[in-house]
Amino acid sequence: MSDRVSVRSLKAEIANLNNSQLEQLFNYIGEMLTVSSFRANLNKDFRESRFSKGEVCPHCQSTYVVKNGNLNGKQRYLCRDCKKSFNDLTKSALSCTKLPIDAWLTYAQGMILGLSIRENAEKIGVCVKTSFYMRHKILDCIRVFMGTGFVDGVVEMDECFIPESYKGNHKKSGFVMPRPSRKRGKQVKKRGISNEQICIVTAIDRNNNIILEPICKGRVTSDALEALYKEHVDSECIICTDSHKSYIQFAKDLELDHKRIMRGRYKNGIYHINHVNSLHSNLKVWMYRFKGVATKFLSNYMAWYKWLQSFNDEKELIRTKNMLIHSVVPFVDTRICSYHGREAVFI
């Protein structure tokens, strides 16, 4: 009865709302309905995205897989080749989690909004350490999901530098600093580009396909450029770069059409590097919030930024859902033991 009474009083209140308030209420109800249908379908979406080409064993990639009953409401499978069993979330960001899916949705939303590890921890009621692992479990999977990428057509290329950081390495665990420490997020002392800076190479084409990879310490060489881009740029593409000389040899080796923008100029005919420059300035603004990023996790942050740039036209709710789905698609070992002793990943 009380339900009916409260609905009646709600109706009376709604009748008093003006048009703009009604519109707000309508949007709110729409959002609530979308969220509940998201939740109801999420497990099905995970399964369909992960096994879009049929069921595959996450341990040995065999397709000789049979269904093997349910455990705690989750479908289990058995691999006939390696004899191991698995479920829809084995080797994903969500494997072995004790948290409800709602907490992960809220967490992913916080990551899209750019909340800190601590803020996101408070939001879902976990400790800072758990929040850190949640962030990197998601990012390890997003990094594999995004891959290096592929660019074609007119491609702008450049590089930017982020200070090397040993953040998170503790003396207690036997770590020895190879140089005197800096205050976090502070500029490196050596002038110019030194080995204390990590070089991030970037390529962006006119369809907003992005390659964004930490590649080495200090200046990039043409060999390193070739090793990274060889399989990831179209052989017919036109590359636009600044006057940095590594790109001349690189373009020559891969026989790419090369337009150089000379120092002090903004463009060369219709060719320019404005998009890659603005990508770098936006990246720096976005990175500022982290107050320095451990070099060993830098590739995760680049994948995160690339993901945000690549999936930026959808509504926040859909982006949140997609972030979790993309964290479930690839097979990635996200056990916490794999974080200890991690080295920086350079392509």
Stretch touching Zn ion by CB under 5 A, among 49-57, 105-113, 230-238, 253-261: 49-57
Closest distance to Zn ion from the beta carbon of 272 (Å):
50
**325 vs 93: CA distance, rounded Å:** 10
- Which of 86/132 has CB closer to Zn ion? 86
HSE (side-chain half, CA atoms, 13 Å) at 199: 19
Stretch that binds Zn ion, among 52-60, 128-136, 201-209, 324-332 (CB under 5 A): 52-60
**Nearest CB to Zn ion, comparing residues 59 and 182:** 59
247 with 157: CB under 8 angstroms? yes
When the beta carbons of 84 and 342 are compared against Zn ion, the nearer one is 84
The residue among 57 and 324 lying less far from Zn ion, judged by its C-beta, is: 57
DSSP one-letter string for 220-266: PPHHHHHHHHTTTB-TT-EEEE-S-THHHHHHHHTT-EEEE--TT-S
From the list 50-58, 88-96, 125-133, 309-317, the region that binds Zn ion by CB under 5 A is 50-58
Q: Residue count at the site for Zn ion (CB under 5 A)?
A: 7
Nearest distance from C-beta of residue 336 to Zn ion, angstroms = 23
Across-strand partners of 259?
A: 240
Q: Which residue has the tokens 């109801």?
A: 40
Rule CB under 5 A: which of 71-100 touch Zn ion?
79, 81-82
What is the radius of gyration, based on Cα positions, of the chain? Answer: 24
Q: Which of 3, 295, 57, 64 is nearest to 168 (CA)?
A: 295
The count of other CB atoms within 10 Å of the CB of residue 182 is 16
Give the one residue of 59, 232, 244, 272 binding Zn ion; rule: CB under 5 A: 59
- Coil, strand or helix at 41: helix
CB of 90 to Zn ion, least distance (A): 11
Q: Which of 192, 258, 195 is nearest to 225 (CA)?
A: 258
Helix (H/G/I), strand (E/B), else coil: 5: helix
The residue within the footprint of Zn ion, chosen from 42, 56, 57, 324 (CB under 5 A), is 57
> Applying CB under 5 A, does 60 fall inside the site for Zn ion?
yes
C-beta of 54 vs 192, nearer to Zn ion = 54
Please identify, using beta-carbon distances, which residue of 91 and 275 lies nearer to Zn ion: 91
32 or 60: CB nearest Zn ion: 60
The smaller minimum CB distance to Zn ion, of residues 79 and 332, is found at 79
- From the centroid of its chain, how far is CA 331? 15
CA 76 to chain centre: 28
- Which span sits near Zn ion by CB under 5 A: 58-66, 93-101, 124-132, 184-192? 58-66
Stretch in the footprint of Zn ion (CB under 5 A) among 51-59, 144-152, 225-233, 287-295: 51-59
Residues 6+ apart with CB under 8 A from 119: 110
Give the one residue of 62, 68, 87, 130 binding Zn ion; rule: CB under 5 A.
62
* Nearest distance in Å: CB 60, Zn ion: 3
| Residue 238 is a binding residue for Zn ion (CB under 5 A) | no
Three-state secondary structure call for residue 317: helix
Residues 6+ apart with CB under 8 A from 143: 299, 300, 303
155 binds Zn ion (CB under 5 A): no
The footprint of Zn ion (CB under 5 A) covers 57, 59-60, 62, 79, 81-82
